[in-house]
Amino acid sequence: MIIPVILAGGSGTRLWPLSRQLYPKQFLPLVNGRTLLQETALRLNRDEDISAPILVCNEDHRFTVAEQMREIALQPSRIILEPEGRNTAPAAYIAAEVARQMDESAMILVLPSDHHIQDLDSLLKAIEASKSIAGQGALVTFGIVPKYAETGYGYIRQGERLDDANPHSAFRINRFVEKPDLATAEEYVASGEYYWNSGMFLFQASRYMSEVEKVNETIAVSCRAAVEKGESDLDFYRLDRESFCASPNDSIDYAVMEHTREAVVVPLDAGWNDVGSWGALWSIKEKDEFGNVALGDVITHDVHGSYLQSTGRLLAVVGLKDHVVVETADAVMVSPKDRVQEVKKLVDTLKRQKRSEAFSHKKVYRPWGSYETIDLEDRFQVKRITVKPGAILSLQKHFHRAEHWIVVKGTAIVIRGEEELVLKEDQSSYIPLGFVHRLENPGRIDLELIEVQTGSYLGEDDIVRLDDAYGRKGKKEKIN
């Protein structure tokens, strides 16, 4: 049995401002109506020899991951929560340990959660062709047949063919190389000996673990302890923080594949794209007669070869060529298309300045729904809150703010101190500072309300939970 392992812990900084730390690109519907994570999970769901996936994600994203799997009616084998990112080698080791507990002979298919693949049949054929190789102990990675010289990817150079009689067989890996300059990338592509490094792998769970134990015992020891000392939390498995954070921060390539003698590359030509930049997204989206991708409320004049996206306001563009312009509720990003890899530097600057735009959108998603800040000034804040049918917020109180709730759609059950109120449209309730309170949507449609906060401190960490349906009781974290 093959168990997919979907690594959903990336930050997607090069797709800022759509991608943010608390809601990165894998959770966005960038290519079609489903998110990249959902597309990855569904990609292999039609093969009977491939089980439900193990998902590995950051604990801050746990409810987003669970909700997106619920939306596509897919029940993961496990959702493993990392207390912090430690790169792909520890994540794969953790998943291999869990997979081996499920099936001692399991193979794991390690997949990033944020890639796009057009030709699913070619992918499935490559996986099928790799099973026997991985079954013999090889550590297989899938090398993307390059279509052009790309400086944003790492490359893999093929070595000797495993089976000279089979022109479609795998190759020993000669070496891994980092992202090259353009001239070097052109040489690689022209040689026919290099592949783009996809970050996708297939190997026996036990085989990968033994290789890690040979080349980096610290990863193995830390990850084994993180699993052994971890604990179940609702639908999640929460790794032990101290043990996991003691692991080195290494990729599978660096920690294992560059050191083992069993590394093998299988060529893959399946319309692969890592959606790693605005330029990459432009290349796979449908374009108009001028070569533009225009999404949202966009009007143009004399614009060519550009990616233009508005999430709300009118975006009007004149006289641009080969540019990217992206508008969100709180930011506008403009870049030449050939410099979009540098967007990460903007995000680094925002983080150094501790600006909220690096971490979250104005609309913030929660397990019960979402909220969006409409206005924020000294001593008051206005939010639009949406609560899903049947959802309930934590029983809580605040030390520094009072709240006023006005229902604009649906029906709300409000706990306010010792009272229980039922509010319908155009009705409201005032929650004084320090009062224990709770909000619930008992209806079949979304509950929408306007919340007006007043007080000396309006931060999301001014919260004490007394009871919570999502396992957050007593935690002062930035979750309502």
Residues 6+ apart with CB under 8 A from 453: 380, 381, 382, 383, 401, 402, 403
CATH of domain 2-273: 3.90.550.10
Q: How confident is the model at residue 469 (pLDDT cuts 50, 70, 90)?
A: confident
Tens-digit pLDDT profile for residues 21-58: 999 999 999 999 999 999 999 998 877 789 999 999 99
What does DSSP say about strands 464-467 and 395-397: parallel, antiparallel, or unpaired? antiparallel
Neighbours of 249 (CB within 10 A): 15
Radius of gyration of the chain (CA): 24
Following CA atoms 99, 102, 103, 108 in sequence, which dihedral angle do they give, to the nearest 10 degrees?
Answer: -20
- Average pLDDT score over the chain: 93
**Token pair for residue 220?**
């193995």
Averaged over 400-404, what is the pLDDT?
97
How far from 55 is each of 52, 72, 83, 436, CA to CA, in Å? Answer: 10, 15, 14, 36
> Is residue 42 a contact partner of residue 34, using CB atoms and an 8 Å limit?
yes
422 burial (CB, 10 Å; 0-12 / 13-18 / 19+) is exposed
Q: Using a pLDDT cut of 90, give the percent of the chain over it.
A: 90
Is residue 472 very low, low, confident or very high in pLDDT (cuts 50, 70, 90)?
A: low
pLDDT band at 234 (very low <50, low <70, confident <90, very high): confident
pLDDT of 313 strictly over 80: yes
Residue 43 phi/psi, 5-degree rounding, is -60, -35
Rounded Cα gap, residues 138 and 207, in angstroms: 8
Region for residue 256 given its phi and psi (left: phi exceeds 0; alpha: psi -120 to 50; beta: otherwise):
alpha
Residue of 132, 144, 85 whose CA lies nearest to 107? 132
Nearest Cα neighbor of 391 from 338, 449, 350, 434 is: 449
pLDDT at residue 167, as a whole number: 52
C-alpha to C-alpha distance for 164 and 262, rounded to whole angstroms:
18
Q: Which fold has domain 363-467?
A: Jelly Rolls (2.60.120)
Query: Residue 165: its pLDDT value, please?
Result: 52
d(CA 126, CA 255): 24
With contact defined as beta carbons under 8 Å apart, do 106 and 1 qualify?
yes
Beta strands 447-455 and 380-387: pairing type?
A: antiparallel
Instruction: Give the pair of three-digit tokens for residue 395.
Output: 């029983």
Question: Where exactly are the structural domains of the chain?
Answer: 2-273, 278-346, 363-467
Residue 213 confidence (pLDDT): 95
Is residue 398 predicted with pLDDT exceeding 90?
A: yes
Distances, alpha carbon 307 to alpha carbons 36, 117, 272, 315, 336, in Å: 19, 20, 20, 12, 10
Mean pLDDT of 449-464: 94
> pLDDT for 151-174, tens place per residue?
889 999 999 998 765 555 799 999
Q: What is the predicted pLDDT for the residue at 477? A: 41
Q: Which helix (H) or strand (E) holds 157?
A: strand 155-161
Task: Measure the CA–CA gap between 469 and 479, rounded to whole angstroms.
Answer: 13
Whether the Cβ atoms of residue 100 and residue 20 lie closer than 8 Å to each other: no
Mean pLDDT in residue range 177-199: 95
For 142, which DSSP code?
Answer: E
Whether the CB-CB separation of 8 and 60 falls below 8 Å is answered with no
**With 60 as the cut, is the pLDDT of residue 473 above it?**
no
How crowded is residue 240: how many other Cβ atoms within 10 Å of its Cβ? 17
pLDDT value for 166: 59
Q: Work out the average pLDDT over 253-266.
A: 94
What is the structure's pLDDT at 480? 38
| pLDDT value, residue 461 | 87
pLDDT at residue 164, as a whole number: 62
Instruction: Give CA–CA dist 273/40, Å, rounded.
Output: 12
List 294's β-bridge partners, or say none: 308
Report which DSSP code applies to 399: S
Strands 2-7 and 54-58, by their bridges, are parallel
Tens of pLDDT, residue by residue over 280-312, are 999 999 999 999 999 999 999 999 999 999 999
